Structure 1
């Protein structure tokens, strides 16, 4: 028996999932230590409950999808609206180099995923789900690509698999970053570590208090704007700023709708959420660079966070975990290999390209964090290292900007290329 729930009831259940997730994260230390987002913690419990109801009572649920789609588009619009390319210039040459290192790893991650899937007898596109869609992209990208892979390419259970894989990635990214950095620090020798006596009092306080903090979200997690703006200036979200921000989101979503229709059946046919992200990038950079418009980043962050949480909660309520029974073992094999590849790449590529010094070791730990999980995982990895060995301002400037503002743009472009390859379709 199928129970259909309209938008109101879907919203109520989604908020209950978020409240449950918040409660679980407060009570279960493992969840907070590994930066498991509230909608994931609560949603997986709700998903298990749905499995039980299906197994014992034959119940399935059909949730309103229009709200879920709208929140997904708002989230990707927020990523685009936050991608100010002037920040690339602010980060300088090291940021550009690190972005290229990350882009090369995204390619490798997908090659490994697709190759392993083919060897294990799975659909090659499942390799993308166990590649950068979920590991670099996180839960938000997994939830967005899942329906596309299911409807357009016939990959059963892609959304469910994506959420499960992204959760694995968060845990794995938090586990491997520290050991990788400690190995690299031992390799360069303690004489090359930053000396505490050379830090000013202000620097020491900044290091101990983790001045470079990020907001805690899923995949797509963005840093606090205090990092780039004026840390002592608090800009309150007013009715006027709310209206302005909603107008920007509406523009992104309208652009996405128009371009999805116009590009359908052409070489530029893209998933709607990619057009929403692209629309945000265009609107952001045109308004700020040509019209000197003062974007209210705090409001964009708030709306993006809320949209992501509600989108994930609704997506997790719709999971059909029973569809994954045949995929469990081969997918786990792929994920173990992906974890080893991440460790080797961070140790022998990221570390060496970024200078083979202490900053490079901390960057390697950060890369493990968002290469397998999300930006908050990267920050947690780096904080654990710098608390013990000394501050790395270079790493705490570069990783949040790449992990939050630019990696999703690169990932979307690379994934679009992979999905168009003839042998994968």
Structure 2
């Protein structure tokens, strides 16, 4: 076994991100469909690691304990760049996005339950292949898997939950770009490549006309981001025993929003470009490590019926995003970007949704409303709505009582 130290693991992840960037820029189909760099490079690493383990008898172990911190750091940075004044402009779209999301949560679980019935699986496995792991992600999947193992005696449920959540990240990152690109071609939509007017919400490396961020601005942004982690973690600990459990990243994001919008009145001014770069790096490292540590042998062994269920869920989510979400959001360029984001957190996580949008705006131009609506929906609202829907479904006799 090859065991990588923390520094070596970060180096490997950085190399994977570089390779992913090279491949997505030089391979036409990857560039055309705006597949995020961490998805491409990380999956390539996972395949090579699987082949090395299978044929060479050598396994690679990475140190990934930094992953939760990276994810929290990313959401803290999202909060620190969230200008709530833009909500007045994005308000109608936010309401429309929610109106599209609520029935989707019910329908996604209905699809999972239907597939579980067709495959002769426990109904709870349908929810596991539904919003528990696809919208809820690894944290929600782990929480419900523990409950199902303890109270419903479902074998290997934790491995299946983690497999489903991880594959959801992959599928959400893979299909989001193609959906948006198809919508833009079909409806002849185009963004503006004038990134100076973006309000700080597109890929920071494209703001060529703006003055570069300084070392001092990076230090201030890093300080604010770590304040978000500390305060957010403390708030999460305070409400740990609440009836409705909210994820840690929600509190980090909320702290960032408070600092960003209240700090202006106290003389605190953050450089959004520096904050965005910190957040983008954190997100890329998180997704890269997640893809690199995907255990393909475990997936192949455990996820036969689950894979079929996820393929159906992927098709359903892509069609829903293209035909329902896009139309409810005014059928314009911003709607196409948000449709890609919808695939991201409808199958994977809010982080995947943001990665989809970043990949698209890097190529086509900024979408400032999308970068307000999607994080607010994905962080503040979708988890609460998901808990309500799941609690209602599990209470049904033919679902949780079997």
Tell me what 1:253 maps to: 229
The count of residues paired between Structure 1 and Structure 2 equals: 373
- Cα distance 1:420–1:274, how it changes in 2: closer, same or farther (>3 A)? farther
Following superposition, the deviation at residue 339 of structure 1 comes to: 2.9
8 Å Cα contact 1:347/1:364 also seen in 2: no
2:252 and 2:175 mapped to 1: Cα distance?
30
8 Å Cα contact 2:134/2:165 also seen in 1: no
Following superposition, the deviation at residue 381 of structure 1 comes to: 8.1
Tell me what 1:41 maps to: 40
1:109 and 1:297 mapped to 2: Cα distance?
38
2:266 and 2:176 mapped to 1: Cα distance?
40
Instruction: Output the aligned Cα RMSD.
Output: 4.1
Question: Please, which of 78, 87, 99 is the counterpart of residue 101 of structure 1?
Answer: 99
8 Å Cα contact 1:54/1:60 also seen in 2: yes
Tell me what 1:66 maps to: 65
Tell me what 1:189 maps to: none
Unaligned runs of 5+ in 1: 134-141, 186-192, 195-206, 216-220, 388-392
**Deviation larger for 97-106 or 42-51:** 97-106
**Deviation larger for 162-171 or 243-252:** 162-171
Unaligned runs of 5+ in 2: 149-156, 345-352
**Deviation larger for 303-312 or 62-71:** 62-71
TM value normalised by structure 2: 0.75
Tell me what 2:275 maps to: 300
1:331 and 1:363 mapped to 2: Cα distance?
31
Could you give the per-residue CA deviations for residues 290-336 of structure 1, whole angstroms, max 9, x where no partner exists? Answer: 43532321111000011111122222232211122242454344433
2:214 and 2:360 mapped to 1: Cα distance?
35
- Cα distance 1:76–1:415, how it changes in 2: closer, same or farther (>3 A)? farther
Tell me what 2:343 maps to: 372
Whether 2:396 is the aligned partner of 1:413: answer no
The SS at the match of 2:131 is helix
Whether 2:307 is the aligned partner of 1:331: answer yes
Tell me what 2:248 maps to: 272
8 Å Cα contact 2:179/2:322 also seen in 1: no
1:213 and 1:163 mapped to 2: Cα distance?
36
2:196 and 2:164 mapped to 1: Cα distance?
30
Whether 2:296 is the aligned partner of 1:317: answer no
Listed as ranges, the matches of 1:331-410 within 5 Å are 331-340=307-316, 342-344=318-320, 346-347=322-323, 351=327, 353=328, 359-360=330-331, 365-373=336-344, 374=353, 398-403=369-374, 406-410=377-381
8 Å Cα contact 1:3/1:60 also seen in 2: yes
The SS at the match of 1:124 is helix
Whether 2:179 is the aligned partner of 1:164: answer no
1:268 and 1:182 mapped to 2: Cα distance?
42
